[in-house]
Amino acid sequence: MASVSFSKSRSLPRAKLVLLVLLAGLFCLGALPGYFQGQWRWKNPPLVSTLRELQEIKRSGVAVDNWTVSEVTPMVIGEHKWVQQTLTQGNQSARVLLLPQGSNTRQPQVEWMDVDGLERWKQDSHQSLNLSGDIQTRFFRAWTNKQTYGVVQWYALPQGGVTTPAGWFWRDRTAQWQNRRVSWVAVSILIKMEPLDDLSKYRQTAESLVQSVQSGLMRQALKP
């Protein structure tokens, strides 16, 4: 019993030491760049260099290679101003919802919950798409009483894409070491499907659309 107690007593300081090192690392990641420049980064972060171009997306949308944009409509989802585009390619159609970063301090939050609340759909077949260019997206089937969709969602960044606000946060903090910011656009693509059809049939279309939308955003506003 004594040896077990002794082992536990030694492991506790070690665990505390690891925790302190992690906390110190997090502090340095946010504080050191600002410290050496005489200011705290979280109070005065660098400016987003393409903020004007990001706002233009709200007015004109994004050009999508190999798809025809038939309509661009501003709309409010939750508390934010999005833009919706209707795309067609032969017999295939899709909707693209875009929410560009609105200010230097605006961070991605609960955008997917806002879209869910708007559509009021049911979901299943959740999976991920991992595409070239370091792009990761959510991919799932959603349906209402009127329509079934293959849905793709991600935060488009200047160098890739992530599925969560945390993924953006760490990239942005790292960029601040170099006095830069990582701008973002929340993207939700709704691909029309036959009622409750197999989602795998639409995977290739989804991957192609993700690459086309990402490329368009990088040309117009998400410049490294």
Q: pLDDT per residue over 93-119, tens digit each?
A: 999 999 999 999 899 998 999 999 889
Rounded Cα gap, residues 139 and 191, in angstroms: 11
Q: Same domain for 37 and 68?
A: no
Q: Which of these, 64, 174, 164, 149, lies nearest to 113 by C-alpha position?
A: 164
pLDDT tens digits for range 133-190: 999 999 999 999 999 999 999 999 999 999 999 999 999 999 988 889 999 999 999 9
What pLDDT is stored for residue 21 in this prediction? 57
First-last CA distance in the chain:
59
H or E stretch at 138 = strand 135-143
Q: Same domain for 192 and 93?
A: yes
pTM: 0.80
pLDDT at 72 over 90: yes
**Among residues of the chain, what percentage have pLDDT more than 70?**
80
75-89 average pLDDT score = 93
What pLDDT is stored for residue 23 in this prediction? 52
What pLDDT is stored for residue 65 in this prediction? 92
User: What is the length of the chain?
Assistant: 224
pLDDT tens digits for range 196-213: 999 999 999 999 999 999
pLDDT at 35 over 50: no
Q: Same domain for 24 and 59?
A: no
Q: Same domain for 185 and 210?
A: yes
Question: What residues are paired with 143 via a beta bridge?
Answer: 122, 148
Q: Same domain for 114 and 189?
A: yes
69-77 long-range contacts, CB within 8 A, separation 24+: 77/114, 77/115, 77/117, 77/118
Strands 68-77 and 80-89, bridge-based pairing: antiparallel
What pLDDT is stored for residue 13 in this prediction? 62
- pLDDT top residue among 130 and 37: 130
pLDDT at 70 over 90: no
Q: Same domain for 113 and 20?
A: no
Question: What residues are paired with 185 via a beta bridge?
Answer: 100, 156
- pLDDT top residue among 56 and 37: 56
Q: Same domain for 102 and 80?
A: yes
Q: Same domain for 143 and 203?
A: yes
Question: What residues are paired with 84 via a beta bridge?
Answer: 73, 97
Mean pLDDT of the chain: 85
Domain that holds residue 23: 1-44
Q: Same domain for 162 and 79?
A: yes
pLDDT at 10 over 90: no
The number of distinct structural domains making up the chain is 2
Q: Same domain for 33 and 136?
A: no
Rounded Cα gap, residues 47 and 105, in angstroms: 9
Q: Same domain for 31 and 60?
A: no
b (16+ CB within 10 A) / e for 9-33: eeeeeeeeeeeeeeeeeeeeebeeb
Q: DSSP H helical segments within 43-190, as ranges?
A: 51-60, 111-119, 165-176
Taking the CB of residue 197, how many other CB atoms lie within 10 A of it?
A: 14
Q: DSSP H helical segments within the chain, as ranges?
A: 2-36, 51-60, 111-119, 165-176, 203-220
Contact 149, 141 (CB under 8 A): yes
b (16+ CB within 10 A) / e for 39-75: eebeeebeebebbebbeebbeebbebeebebeebeee
What pLDDT is stored for residue 44 in this prediction? 76
- pLDDT top residue among 100 and 27: 100
20-24 average pLDDT score = 55
Q: Same domain for 22 and 126?
A: no
